[in-house]
Amino acid sequence: MKIALVSDCYPPRVGGIESQVADLAGQLVGAGHQVEVLTATTGPKGESRGDVERLGQVVVHRLAEPLLRLPVNPFAVPEVRRRLQAGGFDVVHVHLGVVSPFAWDAARIATGLGLPTALTWHCVLDRAGVGYRVSGALRRWVQRGAVLSAVSRMAAAQVRRAAPPGTEVAVLPNAIDLDAWRPRNPHLPRSSGRDHDHYCAVAGDEGVGAKGEGEGVRLVSTMRLARRKRPVELVEAFAEAGVAGRAELVIIGDGPQRAQLHRRVDELGLGGSVRLLGRVDRSRLLDEYAQADGFVAPTVLEAFGIAVLEARAAGLPVVAMAGSGVADIVEDGVSGLLCVDDRDLALGIRRLVDDARLRATLATHNRAVPPAQTWPRVLEQVLAEYRRAGA
């Protein structure tokens, strides 16, 4: 099958959609398919304005306009049309966020050309769903044969409300390489096994969640330090939990709210209990997860939660917000605790810190039972969506 993947954002930009689309391209190529990516992101050496880059067996069309300094290019429409029309693609898979003008143009062009088209939303539509209904874009795309999906049940429900009545919206989750995030046990050699075999082999490990009340419990959170991710609210919930001195919170990531977050930590007197590490590489992140006792995710408008999935795959109990895409990854009381509001988030943090038995039970489950969102499973779902688009 020859597949066109379309995304405003693509590596070398760093982010959720970027990494997922790049990983999907690699998985599809590994399964024997031809993949070409059309993106409005400039390449690592400045590739843009139609330059074609080859990354292994993946062909990347860099349709960026560097003068705009953002992954948008309204001038690329004629070239996108030409390349999609001449490409001989069996399916066009368009990846959308809340604001994705390049992907929107590609959806309009692909459906207008009569190409089998799959559209996947990686975002929480929220009020943007009104714009889809008013503009009639979704109605036109669906009438032309496009199939719709989103990365979680919550996100799919929002797309369904914005789509014409009766439109099927599939759930096409993000995925990870389970082997890359498997739990690290400093006392056991790292197994070369995969999936359930590996998880069952380490399920009896008492290293995670085995600390008592008198010992320091380490919680970790990974996010972009931006308002939507709610890092300030995380620190405030940690303060309200009243566990400073008995627990440490390590926040990993960078972003525009870093200075504000530093100030809030100082204002709350948490300098000895909250550490801001900034951005780290995957190896350091895995080391932090290996030393942690739990993971906290404060984001409410979370379409999926790739950081939660990674932490869950690493065997960490998760405290997160209910009503978001995280509910597809974390089962309340089984793999973590889901909280309904910020007060409940503080209570969840306190409960995880105070209850060593609960930590051990959740950690043992997460080490024994891998999450469902792994590439072998998700790739099958992706291919099924392509067949639905071509039907």
For residues 26 and 115, membership in a common domain is answered with: yes
For residues 10 and 131, membership in a common domain is answered with: yes
What is the β-pairing status of strands 274-278 and 294-297? unpaired
Q: Are 284 and 302 in contact (CB under 8 A)?
A: no
Model pTM? 0.89
Which DSSP category does 332 fall into?
B
The two structure tokens encoding residue 153:
């049940």
Give residue 185's pLDDT band: very low, low, confident or very high (50, 70, 90).
Answer: low
Query: Taking Cα atoms as reference points, which of 206, 220, 184, 202 lies closest to residue 319?
Result: 220
Give me the chain's average pLDDT, please. Answer: 91
For residues 160 and 202, membership in a common domain is answered with: no
- To 5 degrees, how large is the angle CA 96–CA 97–CA 101? 70
For residues 137 and 87, membership in a common domain is answered with: yes
Identify the bridge partners of residue 120 per DSSP, sorted by sequence position.
95, 149
For residues 210 and 339, membership in a common domain is answered with: yes
For residues 327 and 355, membership in a common domain is answered with: yes
Q: What is the dihedral of CA 173, 177, 180, 181, to 10 degrees?
A: 30
What is the β-pairing status of strands 318-321 and 58-62? unpaired
For residues 362 and 379, membership in a common domain is answered with: no
The two structure tokens encoding residue 58:
């993946």
Q: Is the pLDDT of residue 204 over 90?
A: no
For residues 17 and 131, membership in a common domain is answered with: yes
What is the helix (H) or strand (E) element at residue 248, kind and residue range?
strand 247-252
Task: Check residues 215 and 239 and name the one with the higher pLDDT.
Answer: 239
Q: Is the pLDDT of residue 19 over 60?
A: yes
Q: How far apart are CA 350 and CA 368, in angstroms?
A: 25
Q: Give the pLDDT confidence score for residue 202 in this predicted structure.
A: 38
Identify the bridge partners of residue 222 per DSSP, sorted by sequence position.
252
Q: Is the pLDDT of residue 94 over 90?
A: yes
For residues 62 and 198, membership in a common domain is answered with: no
Q: Are 311 and 334 in contact (CB under 8 A)?
A: no
Q: Are 94 and 120 in contact (CB under 8 A)?
A: yes
Q: How far apart are CA 57 and CA 26, in angstroms?
A: 8
Q: How far apart are CA 121 and CA 158, in angstroms?
A: 10
CATH number of the structural domain spanning residue 270: 3.40.50.2000
Q: Give the pLDDT confidence score for residue 79 in this predicted structure.
A: 97
Question: Domain tally for the chain?
Answer: 2
Q: How far apart are CA 38 and CA 61, in angstroms?
A: 5
Q: Is the pLDDT of residue 105 over 70?
A: yes
DSSP 128-180: HHHHHHHHTHHHHHHHTT-EEEESSHHHHHHHHHHSPTT--EEE----B-HHH
H-only helix segments in 31-127: 77-86, 101-112
What is the helix (H) or strand (E) element at residue 275, kind and residue range?
strand 274-278
My answer on whether omega of the bond before 78 falls inside 30° of 0, hence cis, is no
For residues 132 and 35, membership in a common domain is answered with: yes
Q: Give the pLDDT confidence score for residue 334 in this predicted structure.
A: 97
For residues 130 and 190, membership in a common domain is answered with: no
What is the β-pairing status of strands 217-222 and 247-252? parallel
Give residue 131's pLDDT band: very low, low, confident or very high (50, 70, 90).
Answer: confident
The two structure tokens encoding residue 119:
């559209």
Which DSSP category does 374 fall into?
B
pLDDT in tens, 299-342: 998 999 999 999 999 999 999 999 999 999 999 999 999 999 99
The two structure tokens encoding residue 286:
């895995």
Report phi then psi at 297, rounded to 5: -125, 110
pLDDT in tens, 273-286: 999 999 999 899 99
Domain that holds residue 34: 2-175+375-390
Q: Give the pLDDT confidence score for residue 137 in this predicted structure.
A: 87
Place of tokens 């096409």: 172
Task: Check residues 339 and 196 and name the one with the higher pLDDT.
Answer: 339
Arithmetic mean of pLDDT, 39-58: 96
Which residues are CB-neighbours of 59 under 8 A, at least 6 positions away? 35, 36, 37, 52, 53
For residues 256 and 338, membership in a common domain is answered with: yes
Query: Taking Cα atoms as reference points, which of 50, 45, 41, 48 lies closest to residue 22?
Result: 41
